[in-house]
Amino acid sequence: MTESSNPVSDHPLTSGDDRSGVAIQARKRRTFAVISHPDAGKSTLTEALALHAHVISEAGAVHGKSGRKSTVSDWMEMEKARGISVSSTALQFNYRSSGDNAAATDCVINLVDTPGHADFSEDTYRVLTAVDCAVMLIDAAKGLEPQTLKLFQVCKHRGIPIITVINKWDRPGRSVLELLDEISERIGMMPTPLYVPVGISGDFKGIMRRGEGGEPEEYIKFTRTAGGATIAPESLHSPSEAAELEDDDWVTAVEESQLLSAMGQDHNTDSFLAGETSPVLFASAMLNFGVRQILDTLVELAPPPGPRAAVDGKPRTINDPFSAVVFKVQAGMDTAHRDRIAFMRIVSGEFERGMVVTHAQTGRPFTTKYAQTMFGRDRSTVESAYPGDVVGLVNATALAPGHTLFTDKPVEYPPIPSFAPEHFAVLRAASSSKYKQFRKAIDQLDSEGVVQVLRNDIRGDASPVLAAVGPMQFEVVTARMTTEFSVETQFDRLPYTLARRTDMESAAELSRQRGVEVFTRTDGVMLALVSDKWRLQFIQKEHPTLTLEPLVATAD
| pLDDT confidence tier of residue 2, bands split at 50, 70 and 90 | very low
C-alpha 525/C-alpha 223 separation (Å) is: 57
- Dmax of the chain from CA atoms? 80
pLDDT in tens, 381-400: 889 999 999 999 987 888 98
C-alpha 223/C-alpha 47 separation (Å) is: 19
Q: Is the pLDDT of residue 68 over 80?
A: no
- Mapped to the 3 state alphabet, what secondary structure does 154-183 carry? HHHHHCCCEEEEEECCCCCCCCHHHHHHHH
Domain boundaries, the chain: 7-301, 308-406, 423-550
Average pLDDT for 110-115: 78
- Common-topology check for domains 308-406 and 423-550: no
Name the architecture of domain 308-406.
3-Layer(aba) Sandwich (3.40)
* DSSP H stretches of helix in 304-434: none
427: three-class secondary structure by DSSP? strand
What pLDDT does residue 60 have?
Answer: 56
- Mapped to the 3 state alphabet, what secondary structure does 69-86 carry? CCCCCCCCHHHHHHCCCC
Is 116 annotated to bind ligand?
yes
Contact 219, 196 (CB under 8 A): no
pLDDT in tens, 363-376: 999 999 889 887 65
Q: Is the pLDDT of residue 5 over 60?
A: no
Candidates 2.120.10.30, 3.30.70.3280, 3.30.450.70, 2.40.30.130; CATH matching 423-550: 3.30.70.3280
DSSP run (H or E) holding 22 = helix 21-27
Average pLDDT for 108-129: 73
Is 114 annotated to bind ligand?
yes
C-alpha 445/C-alpha 539 separation (Å) is: 33
What pLDDT does residue 503 have?
Answer: 95
Contact 125, 554 (CB under 8 A): yes
Is 117 annotated to bind ligand?
yes
| pLDDT confidence tier of residue 112, bands split at 50, 70 and 90 | confident
Q: Is the pLDDT of residue 552 over 90?
A: no
What pLDDT does residue 504 have?
Answer: 95
Q: Is the pLDDT of residue 115 over 50?
A: yes
Q: How many percent of the chain have pLDDT more than 90?
A: 56
| pLDDT confidence tier of residue 1, bands split at 50, 70 and 90 | very low
Using alpha carbons, select from 36, 34, 73, 31 the residue that is nearest to residue 51. 73
What pLDDT does residue 201 have?
Answer: 96
According to DSSP, residue 451 is labeled S
Average pLDDT for 530-534: 94
Average pLDDT for 455-460: 88
Choose the weakest-confidence range: 9-18, 125-134, 239-248: 9-18
pTM beyond 0.85: no
pLDDT in tens, 473-525: 788 788 888 888 889 998 899 999 999 999 999 999 999 999 999 999 988 89
Choose the weakest-confidence range: 128-137, 215-224, 546-555: 546-555
Choose the weakest-confidence range: 66-75, 193-202, 239-248, 272-281: 66-75
Using alpha carbons, select from 531, 417, 433, 455 the residue that is nearest to residue 125. 417
pLDDT in tens, 15-55: 444 557 999 999 999 999 988 887 888 888 988 998 998 88
Higher local confidence (pLDDT), 290 or 101: 290
Query: Kind of pairing, strands 29-36 and 133-139?
Result: parallel
Higher local confidence (pLDDT), 11 or 172: 172
Higher local confidence (pLDDT), 253 or 441: 253
Q: Is the pLDDT of residue 143 over 90?
A: yes
Higher local confidence (pLDDT), 302 or 148: 302
Query: Whole-angstrom distance between the N-terminal and C-terminal Cα of the chain?
Result: 32
Give the highest mean pLDDT range of 39-43, 193-197, 390-394, 458-462.
193-197
Interacting residues of 193 by C-beta distance below 8 A, sequence separation 6+: 176, 180, 210, 257, 260, 265, 279, 280, 281, 282
Average pLDDT for 518-543: 94
Candidates 3.40.50.300, 3.30.420.10, 3.30.230.10, 2.40.50.140; CATH matching 7-301: 3.40.50.300
Q: Is the pLDDT of residue 71 over 60?
A: no
Q: How many percent of the chain have pLDDT more than 70?
A: 84
